[in-house]
Amino acid sequence: MKSLFKKFWLTVLLSLSLVFPVFSQDEAFVRVQELPREAQQTLRMIRQGGPFPYEKDGSVFGNYERQLPKRPRGYYREYTVKTPYARNRGARRIVAGGAYPNFAEFFYTDDHYASFRKIRE
C-alpha cells in the first residue's frame, strides 16, 4: 500500500512539473530594449519622477502574491504600463524597488502580478 501511495504522489509531482515548469534565473530577466514601447516610456517617466498618467502610479505595492523577493512594506512601488485599446489600467505594470526616487531595481509584469521579470539595463 505504501509503495502504491508513493508512486501516486511521484506521478502527481512529475505531472505538475510538466504543467508548471521551473524557469532558470536567466529566463526571469528582460532587457529594457525587449520591453514593449509603453513599458519603456513608463520606465523613463519613473526615472524622471513623473508626471504619471494614472492616479495609483507610485502607490505602495504590497507583494501579496509573493512573486518578488521579500522586503519591508513600502520598499516596492507600482506603476501602470499603458495597454493599447484597454478600457481600464490593464494588466501590465512596472514595480520599482528601493528608496524613491533612486530605485535600486525594477520588475515588469504583463499578467497582473502572476509573474515578474527583473529589468536589466
Model pLDDT for residues 57-114, shown as the tens digit of each residue? 999 999 999 999 999 999 999 999 999 998 899 999 999 999 988 999 999 999 999 9
- Cα angle 50, 51, 53; round to 5: 120
Closest CA to 106 of 121, 90, 91: 121
- Domain map (residue ranges) of the chain: 25-120
Residues taking part in catalysis: 78, 112
In 27-92, where does DSSP find H-type helix?
37-48
Q: Give the span between the Cα atoms of 27 and 29, in whole angstroms.
A: 5
Please give the grid coordinates belonging to residue 85. 485599446
Lowest mean pLDDT among 21-30, 31-40, 43-52, 71-80: 21-30
Give the rounded percent of residues in the chain with a pLDDT score beyond 90. 72
Residue 17 has pLDDT above 50, yes or no: no
Q: Please determine, looking at this structure, whether the domain spanning 25-120 carries the CATH number 3.40.50.300.
A: no
Q: Identify the pLDDT of residue 21.
A: 42
Q: How confident is the model at residue 20 (pLDDT cuts 50, 70, 90)?
A: very low
How many whole angstroms separate alpha carbon 72 and alpha carbon 87? 33
